[in-house]
Structures are given as C-alpha cells and as structure tokens.
Amino acid sequence: MLHIYNSLTKKKEKFIPIEPGKVRIYVCGMTVYDKAHIGHARVMIVFDIVARYLRASGFEVNYVRNITDIDDKIIQRANENSESIQNLTARYIQALYKDSNELHIIPPNKEPKATEFIAEIITLIGQLLAKNYAYQGKNGDIYFDVHQFKSYGLLSGKQLEDLRAGERVEISADKKNPLDFVLWKMTKPNEPAWDSPWGLGRPGWHIECSAMSLHELGSPFDIHGGGQDLQFPHHENEIAQSEAATGHKFVNYWMHNGFVRINDEKMSKSLGNFFTIEEVLSYYHPEVLRYFILSSHYRSPLNYAESQLSMAKQALTGIYSTLRGVPTKKIENKPLSSLDHPLITRFRAAMDDDFNTPEALAVLNEAKRELNNAKYKDNVQQDELAKLLYLMGSTLGLLNSDPEEFLQSPIQAHGNQYVFVEPVLAKIEKMPAHAVQLLTNQEIEQLIQQRVEERKNKNWQEADRIRDILKEQNITIEDTATKTLWRRG
C-alpha cells in the first residue's frame, strides 16, 4: 500500500484515490522567460517518477502540468530583448520540450497555458467577488481578502498574526491588508491585456493555477505537486482562492520536493553557480543526471556537486556494463503487483514508502550483482534478472539506452577534465588548457582493431602505445576471449 507524505497534514498517509483505480495529479510547471535549470529538472523528474510508478502499480493517471506564459518576469524579459512576448515564450517552451525529451520525461496528459484560460480565470474571480472573498482596490486591481479565509496558512504552518508581525510593507491605499494578493491586474502601457468586467488587464500568477487545475481535473483532485519554494505563498494562495470559490476541499495530498544546492550553497545567478539543464547535459549523459537526482529522497535537499554526479555516473555505468551482451531487453507490460519476485517486492516496498528512490536504486544494484553472478552460468536466471532490471529501471525512467550506445556515448568521456563533445555543446570559455578533442567511435574502433593486429603479431610495444592513446582519451578497454570491449569513462 502506497503511503505519501502530505505537506498539508505534515505526516505520511495511506494513499486512497478519490476514484478507485484512477489518480488525478496537477504539478506547477515553468514560467517560460528563460531556460530551465536543474531545479526545474528535479521537479520534472520527481513527478515523472510519481506518475510512472502509479501507472506501473495499475492506476490510470491523468497528469496535468501547466505552463505560465504571462507574468511580470516574462513581460520584463521581452522588453529587455525588444521582442514580442509570444516569440519569447514560444522559444523557451521549445527549449523546455527539448530538455524534457533528453531527460526522458513522459509528457503530461495535458499541458495547459495560462493565456488559454483567461475566460476561466475571469469566471473564477467573479465567483470570489460574489462571495465577498475578493474586492477591487482603488487602483482597479482585484485582490483576494486573506482575512476572509479562516484557514489561511494551514499548508505552510504560518499564522496570520505572525505574518502580519513580520510584514515590512505598509498597508497601501490600494488594498486592505499587506497579505492580500492580486487576482487581476489592470493594464499598464505596453503590456498585454484582456477585456474583463473590471476593465482591460491580465491575471495574477496565483489565480492561473487554480483556474487551470479546477478546469482540467475538477475538485477535489488527488495530488498537487511542486517545488518547496512554491509552498508559500503560491500553493497557500491556491488553496485559499480555490476553496473559497468552490466551498469544498481543493486537494487531498500535497507533495513538495526539496531545494537544490550547488556545492552546499544556495543556487543563485548572483553567486555564479546557476546551471541550466542544457549546460549540465553538455557534460553528463541525461540518465546520469536522472540517477543523481533519484539518489536523494525527493523531500530532501539535493546537493549538486561534481563528486555526486561522478558517483551517479559510476553506478549507472556499472549497471549498463552488466547488461552488456545480455540479449533480453523486452519488458512485459504488466503491473508490478502481478509479479512475484523478491526483488520486485523490495522495489515496491521502497516506492510505496513515499517514493523512496534511493532504496529503489539499491534494489536495482542488488539485481545487477545477482545478474553478474548468473552471467555465463544460468541462461534462464540471467534472462529473468535482466527483465526485472529493465522493468525496475523503466519505472524510474532509467535504462532506456542500448548498453553499447550508453557506454560508448561521447558524453560519457567526461571524467576529471572537460572535453569537447561532438557537436560542441560545452562553453569554450570553461575549457581548461588540457582539454582534448574526442576521438569518434569509428576512430576508436580502428585503433582497437589495429591493436588487435599488433597483439597477434606479438608487437607488444605498439599494442601498449595504442592502449595508452585510448587511455588518454578516457577509454576503458576489456580484452575477452572473443573480442575487445570498450567504453568511455
């Protein structure tokens, strides 16, 4: 039985879907004014795993992840670039899709954009005004009256009086209380605007997610997810405006993933330790980044460091090396609950414990060790273990590549030095002086064949020289009874 830590109740709870056999999930997606960073990668991967595991457990999952395509930051960036908002957001949406595909994220069932839901947003604001949960300020903006919603602060554990005491902003003439948040902003010069009963304007950020989630999933729905940074005020405000409008519970289970830190420091552009997904994937295979993210529990802080990524790479390389030469790759399309094997039982127990992916990865590595022992000894057991390994890997979004393809990928050559990758993705200014141009796979195969011939002719000095050339390229070779295997890294 799956248990989920509910951020609303601050405890693990048995997961009971509203509709038996079906799960409805909403996750706050990106505001598309820049490229996605590794914090976004963590959100995407965490909730990709949630959806994957629920489906593998036999549930029908309706997963919705929104795109915010109208926002103060978007307007500001478009003005700075002297381009239209439509061009800006379209470009970064495509960049987001590219990152998602490389990370092997299964696309959500629906991915609504805020600008497509203006009518629903206006209707929702109208309901809040009619129920006296909202009012129009002197500047024309529509605000949510936090004081009217008695359970405000329940998700974040904050008390209204404490929030007021810590509020540095004086009560303005435009709203009743500093904590009141905007639902509709009146138009300003050179800003996009839509017509409404209150005049030309655009939606506030918080109301967008309520309108989209209520329209796509109804209310209540099962799971609402996002980064820990959204817990307050964004998700707190979502609860307030949604429950005030509908008169009943908004969401049953709230899930929040932890922050990402860089070498134990907060990730920040001002500190120069801010990495986009594109930058990271120019040095590491996408599955290495996924393995690294899954190696920490989703609620824990994640420390992005070279050593941690190297460990993830080493672990994943070990699994792929074990699968090398094993013919089995087919995965039976059956729920995990239908399979009776100790490894599957342990894997399910880990995932049922609030999606404990570090423990699930430990089971994968146990399966790898058992497969190593069975290799070349018991073909039946080897086939069974390989199938289980691929099945569990697939549930975690791993082991999508052919072993040879993964082990010989140019991106795998990155060790303790940066290297040029074909095509050159890494930034030239980051390259140290000792960085080298990679050999192509074809050139490596030619050198290995040349080495084989030199060994046949007992020209050991030349064979060793070729091995040293390959070693300088971070190529590991393994001589077997029938052929020479190689991998990068």
Binding residues for Zn(2+): 28, 209, 234, 238
Give the torsion sign (CA, 42, 48, 54, 60): positive
Residues 6+ apart with CB under 8 A from 69: 32, 85, 89, 93, 113, 114, 115
Other beta carbons less than 10 A from residue 467's beta carbon: 18
Please compute, for residue 122, the number of CA atoms within 13 A of its CA located in the half-sphere on the CB side.
16
Concatenating the DSSP letter of every residue in 204-255 gives: -HHHHHHHHHHHHH-SSEEEEEEEGGGIIIIIHHHHHHHHHHHSS--EEEEE
CB 228 within 8 A of CB 257: yes
Annotated binding site: 28, 209, 234, 238, 269
Residue 175 to residue 152: CA distance in whole angstroms: 18
The strand pair at 22-27 and 221-227 is best described as parallel
Residue-wise burial string across 66-81, b where 16 or more C-beta atoms lie within 10 A, e elsewhere: bbbbbbeebbebbeee
Both structure tokens of 166: 């810590």
Q: Tally helices (H) and strands (E) across the chain.
A: 16, 15
Q: Residue positions in the annotated binding site for ATP? A: 269
